[in-house]
Structure 1
Amino acid sequence: MPKYTTIFRKFLVSYLIILIIPSIAGYVSYRTSISVTQSISIENSVTQLQRSQEILERRMVEVEGFTRQLALNPDLNKLMNEQKKGDEINVYGIWSMVKQVTPFSQTNDFLQNYFIYLKNYDVIFTQGSAYFRPEHYYQNFHYTDLSLDEWKDEVLGKTHSSEMMPLRSFLSNKKQSSVVTYMQSLPLDSFNGSSPATVVVMIDEEHISNLLAGLEDRYGGWAHISDAQGNTIGVRGITEAAARQLSTSTELDQTKRSQFYHDDLVITIQSDTSGWTYRAGIPRQVLMENANQIKHMTWMVTGIALVLGLLAGLLLAYRNSVPINRLLGVMKEHFGKDGLAERNEYDFLQGNISKMITSNRQLELELERQLPLVRDGFLKRLLAGEFHTLEEIAAAAAQADVSLAGGEGYVGILRINGYSGMDSIDILKELSAARLIMKQALSETEGNLLMTELGSDRLVMIWLEQGEQTSGTDFRKRLDEGLTGLARTAYSEYKVSLSAAFGECFHTLMDVSHSYEQAGQTLEYTELSGMQSILWFSDSSRETATYYYPLDMEQRLISTIRAGEPEEAKRIVSTVMDKNSDQHQLSPEMKQQLVGELKGTLLKLLDQKALVQSELLHTLKNQMIGIQAADMLPDIQQEINGIIEALCGIINSKKNSAHIQTAGDIKRFIAESYSDSELTLYRIAEKVERPEKYISQLFKEVTDMNVSDYLEMVRIERAASLLRTEGCTVDEIASRVGYNSSHSFRRAFKRVMGVAPSSYRQSIHI
C-alpha cells in the first residue's frame, strides 16, 4: 500500500506543477492584454471609420460613374447637341432619355434625386418626368437659401467639373431635408463659361449619415465629415456647431490619427482622393469598459481554472496510478517474484516488458520464416487462375511480399527427367536436393524470376519483364541460352537431366494461368515426342483432328455484334479462321462442323428485337443458311463478314432511330413549353425519362445543336412572329416567350437575329 501511495503522490505533484506554470504565464498575459485591449479598440474604431470612408467614397465614385455613363450615351449626346428650331422640341428623344435614366435610381440610393438640364431646349428631366421650364422644377425642388435666379446662375448657368456643393437645406415636394450636391457639366471636357448639359445629383444627408451609424450604434460615439474648406458633408451623433468647434480647437492635434480629447477618443482620417476629413469620437468609458470586462473575466476564469485543475489533478493522479498499480500486480503474479524491494516501480516494469518484447521479436522471426510458404501459396493460386481481378492479385502479392512489376512475361515448367513413377524416400530426398540446386542457380541468373514447386520433380517459373519486349526473339534467345547452360551444368556436375516448356507470352497477370496451361501442354508434348529439352508452345506442332472455336470466343462474338461493333466482330472471326487454317488440319467433316457452329452463332442473333422487326430478317437468314462448307475458308470468312456488317448496320440503325425519336420528343416538348421561364434541361430530361448528360449529347449528335441553343432559337422565332403580327410591347413579348427580364430577352434577340427587337419591328413596318 505505501508503494501505491507513492505512485499517486508522484502523479499529483507533476500535475500541480503543470497547472502552476500556465497560471503564471496567464497572469503575465493578462497584464499584457489589459494594456493591449485599449490599442485594439482604437484600431477597431479606426477600421470602422475607414470602412465607412471606403463605402462613402465608393458610392461617390458610382455617382461620378453615372455622369460618365451619361456623357458616353449617344442618345443624350445627340439630344444636347441638337439645334432648337423655333418652338419645336424633340419630345421623343427627351422621353427616350427619361426612360433610359430612370433605372439608375434603383442601383444607388445616392441617385434617388437627380436631374439633367439641357441648355438648348431649356429642359430639365429626371427619373420618370421632364420639365420643359426650369421654373416648374424649381417650384417643387429647390434650395431654401437660393432664389430662382441664383439657382439658375450657380447651378444651371456655370460649368462644373465634379463639383461638390456642401450641405444645404433643400425642399423636395414640400419636404424639408439637407442635401450635398454633386454637379457635372456635359460633355466632360466643358471648360468654358457654359455647357450644353448639366447633371446635378442631390444626395440626402441622411444617406451619408447612415454610413456612419455603426460608430454611434456600437460605441455610442459620434462622427463628422467635412470637405477641404471645412464645410459639413455629413454629421451623426453630434451637432454641427460642436463639430466645427472641435475642428478649430487648439487642444486637438489635427495631424494625429487618434488621440484623447477630454473624455473622448477622437479619430481623424484625411481622404487622399476627395480631400474630405472624416472625424469620429468614442467615449473613454466604452474602451475601459471592455478592459474591465476582460479583467473581471480573467480573474474569474483563472480562479475557476485553478479549482478545476486541482480537482482534475487529483482525479487524473488516481486514474493514472490505478492502471500502473494493477500492472504491477499482474507482473508480480505472472513472473512469480517481487523485485520492488530493490528497484522502483518503473524499473520493475521495464525489465519484465523487455522480456515480453524479446519474445515478441522471436515470434516475428518465426512468421518471417513462414513467409516462403505464403509466397508459394500465392504463386500456386496465380497459376491456378483463382484470382478474378488485378486488385485481388495486387493485394495477395503485397501480403506475400512479391513484386509484380511489369505485368507481362512467360510461364515455364522445368522438369527433372528420369524420376517418373519413383517415390521411394531416397528418390524423394534426391529430388528435393535437385530442386534446391535448380532454384539457387535460377535465382542467381534471373532477378525477376518467381518459382514454385510442382510435384516432386518439377519447378514452375514465372518471368516478369519491365520495359522490354517480352515477346521478341531476343528475350526468348536469352532464356534459351540461360536454361541450356543450366541444363548442361546440371548434367555435367550432378548428372541431372532437365527439360523445360514455355507457354505463350502473357500481357496481363490475369493471363498467367493460360500461359501456364500452354506450358503444361507443351511439356506433355515433349514427353510424347521425345523432342528437345527446351520447347516453346508456339514451336510445338499442334495439329489436331478437331476445330478451334471455343465457347468463350462464341460468346464474345455474340456480345460484340449485339453492341454494333463490326470491326471487333470481324477480328474475332479472323482469329478463328486463322487458328483453323494455320494450326488445325481440318478434315471435311470438321470443317463442316466449324461452319455449322459459325452459322448457328449468327442464327442465334436473329432473336434480337431489333433484327426481328427488320425487313432484312429473311434475307439475312437465307444468307446464313446459304453459307456452304465446301467453299474455301477465306470465302466463308468474307460471307460471314458481310453478314456481320449487315447485322451491325441494322442494330446501329435502330439505335439511331431511337435517338431521332428521342430528339423529336425533346423538340415537341420545347415547342409546348417554351413560354415557361422555368424550363430547364432537368425538366426536359425528366419528360423524356433520360439522364441530363445523355439527352444533351444525344440532341447534339442528332441536330448538331445544343438543347439550350435550340430552346433559345424557338423562343426568338416566336418572339419575331409576335413582333410582326401583334402590338405587344417588348416587355410583354419577353414574358410570353419565357424570359424573366426584358434585358436578357433583348440580348438574346440581338444575338440570334442580329438586331434589337425594337429595330426589328421598325424594319418590318418600313
Structure 2
Amino acid sequence: MRKFSNVFRNFLISYVIILIIPSIAGYMSYRTSISVTTKASIENSFTQLQKTKELLERRMAEVEGFTRQLAINPDLNVLMNERNAGDQANVYGIWKMLRNVMTFGQTNDFLQQFYVYLSNYNVILTPGSAYFRPEHYFANFRYEDQTFSEWKQSILGKTHRSEFLPLRPFINKGTKTTVVTYMQSFPLDSFSGSSPAMAVVIIDEKTIANLLAGITDRYGGWTLISDAAGQTIASQGVGMPDLAKLGGQGGLDPSEVSQYVADDLVITTVSATNGWVYRAGIPRERLLENANQIKFMTWTVTGIALAVGLVVGLALAYRNSAPIHRLVSVFGTAEGTSGRNEYDFLHGNIAEMIRNSNRLESELHRQVPLIRDAFLKRLISGELQSREEIFAAASQANTGIYGHAGYVCIIQIQGYSGMDSVEILNELNAARLILKQTLTDLAGFTLTTDWGSDRIVIVFASREAETGSELGREAIAGLLEQLARRAFEEYRITFTAAVGDRFESETGVNASYEQAKQTLEHAHHSDRSGIVWYDETRMESATYYYPLELELRLIGTIRAGEEEEARRILAHVATMNTEQRELSVEMWHQLVGELKGTLLKLLDQKTFLESGRFDVLKDRIIAVQASDKRTLQAEIEDIAASMCAVVVGRKNDSHTRTVEQIKAFVGERYSDAELTLYRIAEQVERPEKYISQLFKEVTGSNLSDYLETVRMDHAVKLLLEGRYTVDEISSRVGYNSSHSFRRAFKRVTGVSPSSYRQSAE
C-alpha cells in the first residue's frame, strides 16, 4: 500500500465498511445456528442419558432383588447351615438349589451369567452346572488379570455387601470379553471374615452398552459410565478421551451438565442412587454440521461481494487519487501522514520538516565539540591503529587534526600536585578552560582535549610538509611562551609544557604523545619548568624501545595494506633504538627477535596462508640477521612492503567480486521500483556507504548512475520492440511514475522516449 496515497486508502475505507456489514450479519447467523444446535443436542443427549440411567438402575435393582430372594431361599439356608461330612455332600439339596436358580436368568439379561458359592461344601453353583472344585470353574470362567489364588482370596474368601467390581478383562470359555461384577455375601448381615455363601453376578459390558446405543447411533462419538471412584463400568463409541483427564486432570468440571473437552461436547449426569457418572461425547463436526452449511453459504456470498466491491473501489479510488499521488511523488513518499490528507502534508509538514531540520542542525553543532574531543582522545591513546581507521573515525565525527604532520604537547598546570578536594578540582577545571580559551585567542584554533584533572593535550598540526622542522618548533615555542606569559599575568597560572617529537602522519600522533609523556616525566624528575622538548631529554636505558601499542599499530597497518605507513613505523622504531638509545648486543638481538615475531604473527592469517607466498615470506623473515644494523631496517621494510602488497592484492580481488555481485543483483532486480541502495547493501552484506564508495573506486561511476543506465538500456530495447506503451515500459524498468521515467530517459539519451521511438521507426 506504500505505492498509493492516503486519498486512495481513505476513499477505499468507505467501500470496505459497507461490505463488512453482510459479513457481520452472516457471522451472527452462524453463531446463532451454533447456539441453537448445541442447545438441542444437549437437551436430546441429556434426555437419552437420563433414560439410560433409569433403565440401568432398574436392572441393577433387579440384580439386588435377585440376591435378596436368594438370601431368603430355604434351600440355600439349609445348605449354608449344614456341616460338610467329609466326601458326603447333600446332592439332592444342591440339585434342588440348581433348579431354583435357573429361572432367574430368564427374566433379566443381566442375570445370564452368575454363580453361588457355598463355602462349607467348597462348591460353585451356576445355572445348569455344579462345580465341586472352584478350580474347575476357574478353568472356564476367570479374570484375565488374576491367578486362581488371587481370585479365591479376593472374591471367594471375603465378605461383600452389594459391591461392584469395575470393568475388567474376562475369559468366558476361551472367549475374551470385559465384564462388570456384582457381589453379595449371605446371610445379608455378614460383615467380616468369611461368609457361608455368596452370589456373584457377572454382567457383560456389551449388555450394558446396548443401553447406550441410542446416543452413539444418532450423533456418533462415545458414551461412558464410571463409578463414583472414576473407574469404568461400560463404554461405547470411538474417540474416547483419556480417563485421567475426565477425572479432573484435563480441566473437566464434574458440576457442569455440558462443556467442551478437546473437540467433543461432553454431556454429564450423575446417579443419586449409586453415584455412577454417565457421560456422552458428541463430536464438534457432527454438532456443527448444519451450522457449517450456513457458514459456507454466508462466507461464499460475502466473499463474492467483497471481491466485486473491492475491484470497483480500487478502480474508482485510483482514478480520483492518481493526480494527487503524482504531485506528492515529486516531493517524496508522504510517510508519517496518517490522519492527514496529502494537502495537509504539502502545506504543513514541509514547514515542520524545516523546523526539525534546523533543530537537528543546532543539536549537531552543539555536539560537535564532544564528538571531536572523543575522536582526539582515541587518536592520542592509540585506539586507531591504521590510517584507514583514522579516516573512517574522522569522517564519522566530521572532524580531523587539520594536517598530516606536527607535534603533540602536554600542558600540566603547576601548584596542585597531590591535592584532590572538590575546591581544587573546581579550580583546575576553571584553569583548563582559561588556558584553552587563551590558546584560541592567540592561535585561532582549539585542537585540545583534557587529560586528567591538571593536564591539557594539544595537537599542533599543519597541512604543509615542512622540510626544515625548526620553523615549526619556533612557532610552537613562541605560541606556548605567549600562552604562559598571559596566563601568569592575568590569572597567575603557571604550567610545564612537554612537547614530543615530530610526527609525519596521522598514525604517529600516539607516538608523539607517548614521547611527550616521557618528556613530562623527565621534566618532573629534573625539576624543569617552562617548555621542554623530547630531543632535549635523551633517554639512557638498558632496554629497547618497542611498546605494545606500536606493535599493534604496525600489525593493523600491514593488515590494511598501507605500505608507506608501515615503513614509517619501522623507521621510527629504528631511530628510537639507534639514535635515542644505546643498546647492548643482547638487547639489539632481542629487539630483532621481537620484530621478526611480529611479522611471523601476521603470517598466521588467512590472507597470507591462501596467497601462495606464505613459505617465501616465512623464509625471508627467518633469514633476517641481527648482526648487520645497516641492512636490517631495509630488509624488514621490504618484507613489510611485500606483505602489504599481498593484502592489497587480496583486497582488490574481494572488491572486484563484490562489484560483480552488485552488478548481477542490479541486472536481476532493475525492474523493482523498491530497489534502493539499502536493498543492494543488504544483498551483498556490506554497509551502504561502503558499497557506494567501493563501486565508485572500482568502476569510476556512481552506483545510482549505473542503476539508471541499466534501466535505460532495457527501456531502449522495449521501445524498439514497439509492444508496450511508454507508461508500461516505465513500470517494467522500475519507475513508479512515467513522468520520472521520461525525465530520466531524456537526461541519459538527450531525447524523450516518444521521440526516440519515432526516430528509430
Regarding TM over 0.5, the answer is: no
TM-score of the superposition, structure 2-length normalised? Answer: 0.34
Q: In terms of Rg, which structure is larger?
A: 2
Larger relative contact order (Cα-Cα within 8 Å, sequence gap ≥ 6): 2
